[in-house]
Amino acid sequence: MAKDKETLTKKEQETLELQLATNFEAIVAISEDMEKAKALGATAREKAEAVQTGFWKSKAKAVEDLKDATITTADTTLATLDIVDKVSENQKKMADACNEFIKLGAVDLATNRAVIAFIEKTMAGGADKTLGEETVSQLQGVIRDLKQKSDLLVKQRKQGAKINEHETRLVQVEAHANDLDTEIEKSRESEKKHDSAIKEQREKGEERDRRLDAGDERDDTQDKQIQDLHQKNVEQDERLQHGDEYDKKQDERLKQGEEKDIEQDAVLEEQKQKDVEHDKTLAELEDRIKVLENDLEIVKNSKRTQLYIAISAGIGLIGVILGIIALVI
């Protein structure tokens, strides 16, 4: 049974009452034996005292009484020794019986209170009148011991409740501490991942910076190439413009008549040479257009809007030039 149990079941109550009644009957029997032994002892002492203080009227009577007194004294001595043994034995039995009450009262709070109630009820029912003073005193001592034990059990129950509460709080604190340890570990793992991501991002940034620096250098080179190409386009425009003026003059000469055929043939021959040069120039221009288209794609990817517009204008201008050359041919 639990130490803080406050009530007994019906079966437990019946079993306990049977034990208590049996034990109390033993105490009553022991008490009666003790009282009988004490009475015999008192009788023996009275006889011995009577012999010692007796008065005899005749010598014969005195001798006879002394003889009887000697026998009585011897019997009394033997009886006293036997009574002492019985009293000692009964006292031991009484102590064992009282200890049995105390032992039962120490089981739990409910049993303790039941034992106290039984003894008090039995004593109040008149048992204290039939029992000897020593037995009554011992039972009263048992009641005191049991009540002290009851107070101790109540304190133990309260302390047990506090201990259980503290243990519960300790378990909660430990669980919370474990949760915190888990969160800290997760945080550390997260920090490691963040540090790794930051390091990777930094490396990527450095790589992008290197690529941008290389791109800037490449852009500068392309800017110079585009500038040179633009200058060449201007020069070609001027040359083509001169060619247009020359063609106009040539047309006027052709209109003036057939007499200039010989001269015109020479001019045509010269024109053929120019056509060869133009074809060569056109081939070079087509190659440059391809280069410009590639450059334009690079410029688009690097979001160089102004260069894109300039190259587009250059390509448009070259297209016009090609159209003019086609008309001339």
Residue 2: per-residue pLDDT: 46
**Is 110 domain-assigned?**
yes
Residue 72: per-residue pLDDT: 57
Domain endpoint, select from 121, 156, 175: 175
Contact 251, 240 (CB under 8 A): no
Shared domain check, 106 and 242: no
Per-residue pLDDT tens for 257-274?
677 778 878 888 888 888
Residues 39 and 31: their CA atoms lie apart, in Å, by 12
Shared domain check, 170 and 99: yes
**Is 104 domain-assigned?**
yes
**Is 187 domain-assigned?**
no
CA distances from 183 to 158, 173, 187, 192, 229 (A): 37, 15, 6, 14, 65
Per-residue pLDDT tens for 130-189?
777 888 888 888 999 999 988 888 888 888 888 888 888 888 888 888 888 888 888 888
**How many domains does the structure of the chain reveal?**
2
Domain endpoint, select from 120, 141, 175: 175
Q: Which of 213-217, 307-311, 312-316 has the lowest mean pLDDT?
A: 307-311
Residues 233 and 185: their CA atoms lie apart, in Å, by 69
Owner of token pair 């009886």:
79
Shared domain check, 143 and 61: yes
Owner of token pair 């106290």:
116
**Is 197 domain-assigned?**
no
Residue 79: per-residue pLDDT: 53
Shared domain check, 116 and 244: no
Per-residue pLDDT tens for 224-242?
888 888 888 888 888 878 8
Shared domain check, 61 and 123: yes
Shared domain check, 15 and 131: yes
Domain endpoint, select from 175, 206, 229: 175
Per-residue pLDDT tens for 182-205?
888 888 888 888 888 898 888 998
Contact 87, 38 (CB under 8 A): yes
Per-residue pLDDT tens for 272-305?
888 888 888 888 888 888 888 887 777 667 666 6
Shared domain check, 297 and 236: yes
Shared domain check, 142 and 55: yes
Shared domain check, 239 and 169: no
**Is 98 domain-assigned?**
yes
Shared domain check, 114 and 57: yes
Domain span at 225: 219-328
Q: Which residue has the higher pLDDT, 53 or 21?
A: 21
* DSSP-assigned states of every residue in 249-308: HHHHHHHT-GGGHHHHHHHHHHHHHHHHHHHHHHHHHHHHHHHHHHHHHHHHHTT-HHHH
Q: Does position 1 have pLDDT exceeding 50, yes or no?
A: no
Shared domain check, 226 and 164: no
**Is 200 domain-assigned?**
no
Residue 21: per-residue pLDDT: 80
**Is 2 domain-assigned?**
no
pTM of structure: 0.38
Per-residue pLDDT tens for 112-135?
998 898 888 888 877 667 777 888
Helices 109-122 and 133-255 pack at an angle, to 10 degrees, of 160
Contacts of 68 (CB under 8 A, 6+ apart): 51
**Is 185 domain-assigned?**
no
Residue 41: per-residue pLDDT: 66
Residue 144: per-residue pLDDT: 93
- Residue 207 CA to its chain's centroid (Å): 43
Contacts of 52 (CB under 8 A, 6+ apart): 69
